[in-house]
Structure 1
Amino acid sequence: MTAHPMSRLVRRVFPGRNPLATYGDRIEGAVLALGVAVALLAVPVAGAVGSETYTGYEARVDAEHASRTQVDAVLVEDTPEMRGHSDGTVEKTPATATWRLPDGSVHKGVVPAAYEMRSGATVRIWTDRGGEAVDPPMTHEGAVVGAFMIAFLLWSVLTGVMTLFYGVVRFLHMRIRLRWWKLEWELTAPDWTGR
């Protein structure tokens, strides 16, 4: 911000020295000051929440990596052909496959596989301790991103609520001010216009 907009912001927050400032201007300034304070104080609060969330996610990462294993699954059916255009990402479709459990027995279930794969093709899947196919475990990078997103979302919500509150106060203040101006004009117009 340049000095000019910053000085205007300070005058809006602290209109007390302005002889033309009304009671509504002072309320509007107080709400703006409160909004800025909340936005600034929300930073460490959101950081603390993000840190706690990250700690919980890290525990989840450790637990999921300890309880899940990657195995090779063999498709027992062809996967369908892809319809439409792909955006470059590898899209998956459910397919029936078999895989071996640690005790040597064979397990059969539905796994995610790429389109246009043939029966007998191998896909890497994650299994839980019972041998069931599960989603991949959360990664450390995923824990960081997830915690950051929650912290940022919390800060955005708090700041957004205060911004909306200030906008409502400003709108109501402008409506009241316009009504007062209209009333004052109706009282003084006969003196100015001679009607």
Structure 2
Amino acid sequence: MSHNSALAWRVWRLRPWNSNPLMRASDRWEALFRLLAVAVMLLAVPVAAAVGTATYSSSAERISVENAAKTEVPATVLTEPKQTVAAGPAQAAHFEAQIQWKRDGDFGKGTIEVRRDTKVGSTVHTWLGPDGLPGDPPQKPASAVTNGIGTGVALLIGVGFALLSLLWCVSQVLDRLHALRWESELRGLGRPIGT
């Protein structure tokens, strides 16, 4: 008999409806909890897929609406770049400068992040949000895919962790009950010393 078939036979013998009289009731309950955990995990897969798809759809719609409200405009640098964040071991230094732009005949001013070597009077391109102030560039549509997949995987990991924790707790309680039963049975077998 191969190792795989022996393992499959041992797993089959642990089923809760096994007619073996030597199988304890607590072992049957533990096997039943394990089967329920597998069933819940299998049911969690399509639920996680549905939640991930819904997250993707809402993220894609939100990104599309936000990107449609942003406009790229050329702007003129008014001040020398000023360091706002010092360089560290894990990050580069950040510099900001004031800029001025013209949009629909109106001038606007703001502060944006620029490169260190940006010169006063040079032209940079910036993105304006719906409020007319400089903001972040448009998000890539691929980030909606990342949000959807991340949500689905996080849900599966959370369900799996919760089930493993529950199974561990059940196993610990049953092991403690087994130990107490063994201890009481062993006390009943032995005679007190001196008798």
Task: Report the TM-score, using the length of structure 2 for normalisation.
Answer: 0.82
Q: Does the aligned pair in 2 maintain the 1:51–1:147 contact within 8 Å?
A: yes
Count of paired positions: 190
Larger CA deviation: 95-104 vs 162-171: 95-104
Which position in structure 2 is the counterpart of 1:171?
172
Structure 1 residues 58 and 165: alpha-carbon distance in aligned structure 2, compared to 1, 3 A threshold:
same
RMSD across aligned positions (CA): 2.8
Distance 1:139 1:118 in 2: 26
Q: Does the aligned pair in 1 maintain the 2:16–2:29 contact within 8 Å?
A: no
Deviation readout 1:37-92 (Å, 9 max, x if unpaired):
111110101111111111111111221121112234444232328533456xxx46
Question: Structure 1: any 5+ residue segments left out of the alignment?
Answer: none
Which position in structure 1 is the counterpart of 2:146?
145
Equivalent position amino acid for 1:144 in 2:
V
Equivalent position amino acid for 1:156 in 2:
I
1:77 aligns with 2:115: no
Distance 1:11 1:125 in 2: 68
Which position in structure 2 is the counterpart of 1:66?
68
Question: SS state of the match for residue 108, structure 2?
Answer: strand
Equivalent position amino acid for 2:172 in 1:
F
Distance 1:190 1:135 in 2: 82
Deviation readout 1:1-26 (Å, 9 max, x if unpaired):
94444444444343623332111111
Distance 1:46 1:176 in 2: 36
Structure 1 residues 20 and 74: alpha-carbon distance in aligned structure 2, compared to 1, 3 A threshold:
farther
Question: Structure 2: any 5+ residue segments left out of the alignment?
Answer: none
Q: CA deviation at 1:94?
A: 5.7
Identical residues among aligned pairs (%) = 27
Distance 1:71 1:4 in 2: 71
Task: Report the TM-score, using the length of structure 1 for normalisation.
Answer: 0.82
1:52 aligns with 2:21: no
Larger CA deviation: 103-112 vs 5-14: 5-14
Distance 2:26 2:12 in 1: 16
